[in-house]
Amino acid sequence: MGGQAADRVGVTAHIVDINGHECSTEEIEVVPGTLEAGEIGNFDGTVNSPCFADGGTVDAEAHWD
């Protein structure tokens, strides 16, 4: 990020089935939503998906403006 603030920080949770196919995505808000360089944010979410019935997983991906 080059030492600059990140605005509208969030996490995309990619829900993947046991075969590696993406079933759905969930957007999760990070608090605080703006982070200064070196600052850490937190996120917490509950993801419910039928993909978990057969051993699906979640891959989290951070994003910001």
Ramachandran angles phi, psi of 51, nearest 5°: -65, -25
> Quick one: average pLDDT of 4-30?
93
Quick check: 64 and 10 in contact, CB under 8 A? yes
pLDDT tens track for 36-65: 998 999 999 888 888 888 888 999 999 998
Q: Are 24 and 49 in contact (CB under 8 A)?
A: yes
pTM of the model: 0.78
- Under the banding of pLDDT at 50, 70 and 90, the label for residue 2 is low
